[in-house]
Amino acid sequence: MAWKVTTAPASEPLTATAVKNYLKVDYSTDDTLITSLIVAARNKVEEYTGRRLMIQTITEKLDTFPGVTIPNPDAILTLSVLPLRSVTSIQYKDTAGASQTFASSNYIVDTTSEPPRIGLAYGSDWPELYDEIDAVTITYLVGYDDADAVPDAIKSAMYLMIGQMYETRTNTVKKLPSHAEWLLNEYRVRSF
């Protein structure tokens, strides 16, 4: 499975004003720097936890649909990124190599499980595919509803990270401030 963000978030979980208040900065000279630190902290939190914080579109590619196996008797398809909001489309290359869209009536989306899952509707089967890599493309939305819905522990970790990057401005041995790491561990997605 390979995935990428195809539509980036339109906003950040923290505002520049809130971060400036946290940093006790009352001048605008560092506004551009602070804004870039907010983005860097969000990116690092997303990488560390495996969660997307703000609404964004993900495109995930698969070589094949799941088959029925002993560990997966219902041929459940799991997605790589969470929290899942909705599935926009499932497209695939049919046996002739033509692009098709798998009708949403053929599958059920589980937005509450971690990892997010897509199962077949009663009486449906995954379609036959053209034999090539990336024959399946799933487009879906992830992220919390808005900045207010992002857990406070995650935002607190971001403040700590931004404070460390703003004050130190040099490379340090530790990748995340210890307290930030502790706050984020509860939200970290373990390998599926």
Q: Is there a domain that residue 191 lies in?
A: no
Find out whether 79 and 138 touch, Cβ atoms under 8 Å.
yes
Q: What is the DSSP track for 88-133? A: EEEEEE-TTS-EEE--GGGEEEESSSSS-EEEEPTT--PPP--SST
Q: Contacts by 108-113 with C-beta closer than 8 Å and gap 24+?
A: 109/84, 111/83, 111/84, 111/85, 111/86
Tens of pLDDT, residues 32-47? 999 999 999 999 999 9
Structure token digits, residue 126:
């995954």
Domain count, the chain: 2
Co-location of 68 and 135 in the same domain: yes
Co-location of 84 and 127 in the same domain: yes
- Residue 92's pLDDT band, with cuts at 50, 70 and 90, is very high
Q: Is there a domain that residue 5 lies in?
A: no
- In this predicted structure, which of 43-52, 70-79, 114-123, 154-163 has the lowest mean pLDDT? 70-79
Q: Is there a domain that residue 3 lies in?
A: no
Q: What is the pLDDT of residue 125?
A: 93
Asked, as a colleague might, if the bond just before 115 is cis with ω within 30 of 0, I would say yes
| Upper half-sphere CA count for residue 52 (Cβ side, 13 Å) | 30
Tens of pLDDT, residues 136-172? 999 999 999 999 999 999 999 999 999 988 988 776 6
- Residue 174's pLDDT band, with cuts at 50, 70 and 90, is low
The H or E element that residue 6 is part of is: strand 2-7
Q: Is there a domain that residue 168 lies in?
A: yes
Show Cβ contacts of residue 94 under 8 Å, excluding neighbours closer than 6 positions: 100, 127, 128, 129, 130
Q: Is there a domain that residue 167 lies in?
A: yes
Co-location of 105 and 159 in the same domain: no
Co-location of 118 and 47 in the same domain: no
| Domain hosting residue 174, numbered range | 11-51+150-185
Q: What is the arithmetic mean of pLDDT over 76-80?
A: 94
Co-location of 178 and 159 in the same domain: yes
Co-location of 26 and 62 in the same domain: no
- Residue 124's pLDDT band, with cuts at 50, 70 and 90, is very high
Co-location of 45 and 111 in the same domain: no
Query: The domain that contains 17 carries what CATH number?
Result: 1.10.3230.30
Co-location of 95 and 68 in the same domain: yes
Co-location of 70 and 33 in the same domain: no
Find out whether 137 and 88 touch, Cβ atoms under 8 Å.
no
Q: Which residues pair with 4 in a beta bridge?
A: 59
- Report whether pLDDT(63) > 80: yes
Co-location of 128 and 78 in the same domain: yes
Quick check: helix, strand or coil at residue 77?
Answer: strand
